[in-house]
Amino acid sequence: MHRTAATLRLIVPSLWLGLIIGLSLIEAPLKFTAPGITTPLGLGIGRIMFTALGIAGWFLLVVLVAASLIRPRVRRVDAILLGAMALMLVLETLVIRPFLNARSDQVIAGIDPGESILHYAYIAAEGVLIALLVVWIVRAARSLRPVSPAAD
């Protein structure tokens, strides 16, 4: 059971990182270069995609927390990393994204909402989340390495 949990602690954040890279970093900017995609259409697609990514992120975080709780004792650094990941999801889904949705509603309605730093705030939160996931993945991969006997 502990080996399965250890494997989940590696696979789940790797999957999550792949989703973020594929959707946030690749798909999101590229969709606006596709022929026939208007700004309102691109914003509508983006809203659906980022909502789905947020739901997936929360689900994967819950699975990661559950896999971490299987250990006899949760390491302090793991708890800090999980808390920081949760904080980034809260910032993205409950703080930043509602304001971005309101701005996209204005654009879709033909209103120019003007300049905003909201996209940069979201990108920063995603960047922090990516860094947290990479740190977690490296730590999880190291924990799966077999312990070699001490060299004489």
- The model's confidence at residue 145, banded by pLDDT at 50, 70 and 90, is confident
Tokens representing residue 23 in the block:
């959707």
Q: How far apart are CA 93 and CA 108, in angstroms?
A: 21
pLDDT, position 150: 61
CA distances for 39 relative to 17, 47, 61, 102, 114, angstroms: 27, 12, 32, 15, 15
pLDDT, position 149: 64
Q: Which of 31, 14, 17, 30 is nearest to 88 (CA)?
A: 17
User: 88 CB contacts (<8 Å, ≥6 apart)?
Assistant: 125, 126, 128, 129, 132
User: What digits encode the pLDDT tens for the residues 50-60?
Assistant: 999 999 999 99
User: What digits encode the pLDDT tens for the residues 72-129?
Assistant: 777 899 999 999 999 999 999 999 999 999 999 999 899 999 889 999 999 999 999 9
pTM: 0.89
